[in-house]
A and B are shown apart, each in its own frame.
Chain A
Amino acid sequence: GEDVEQSLFLSVREGDSSVINCTYTDSSSTYLYWYKQEPGAGLQLLTYIFSNMDMKQDQRLTVLLNKKDKHLSLRIADTQTGDSAIYFCAESWGSGAGSYQLTFGKGTKLSVIP
């Protein structure tokens, strides 16, 4: 079955870059996502990348996809204390126009040190 793995913790200093890594197993994934979960809150989509892309940049966020190695990363430039949260990697799977099912990793807790 589908499996998404990511490291559980990451600690960086304010102003440095953060890189959160993720590996997945389903080679038929169509989209890969990064979601952010702040304490006590639901999930918020940060960015996503289509599986035929290698890179996507959105302001301070850069997503890199190595489809051959099934490796996805999220780089946050100039990390701020407000970036402290849990970041989930996810892949979409499922068939049919009406289905949209995500497989999530366990989440990486990013702690930003002032």
Chain B
Amino acid sequence: SQTIHQWPATLVQPVGSPLSLECTVEGTSNPNLYWYRQAAGRGLQLLFYSVGIGQISSEVPQNLSASRPQDRQFILSSKKLLLSDSGFYLCAWSAGQGDTEAFFGQGTRLTVV
């Protein structure tokens, strides 16, 4: 069966420090991968999506970047965190060809202090 792993579960980082959140998917190949952010008092916002290795699309301008070095690995990064980067980050995957369901990781709660 397919599973999605996301870590760490919680993270407290100082302003200006770098960030790396990792997400891996098992049990499927060539998944579509997504990073969403849930900020306090706001809905979920799509940050990045990827349909293949090295293919990253960004939905909103921001301080973050994403990379997909392997088929089932998706990384969210920042060189210098801002206070406004605090939030709950969710990785998700879906099968290709417009499948109807996305499966989410457990999320990472990031607090920038």
Contacts and interface: CB of A to CB of B under 8 A. Distances in A.
B93 to A, nearest CB: 9
A108 to B, nearest CB: 11
Contacts of B7: none
Give the most central of B43, B45, B51, B107: most A CB within 10 Å.
B43
B44 interface: yes
Interface residues of A, number: 24
B51 A45 contact: no
B32 A100 contact: yes
Interface residues of B, number: 30
- Residue from B51, B102, B105 whose CB has the most chain A CB atoms within 10 Å: B102
B42 A99 contact: no
Contact of A98 (B42, B97, B103): B97
A35 B109 CA distance: 19
B49 A43 contact: no
Interface string A88-113: 10101000011111111111000000
Contacts of A41: 106-107
Interface of A: 4, 31, 35, 40-45, 48, 88, 90, 92, 97-107
Interface of B: 6, 32, 34, 36, 41-46, 49, 51-52, 59, 90, 92, 94, 96-107, 109
19 contacts: A42-B90, A43-B90, A43-B104, A44-B104, A45-B102, A48-B100, A88-B44, A90-B44, A92-B100, A97-B98, A100-B49, A100-B94, A100-B99, A101-B49, A101-B59, A103-B46, A104-B44, A105-B43, A106-B42
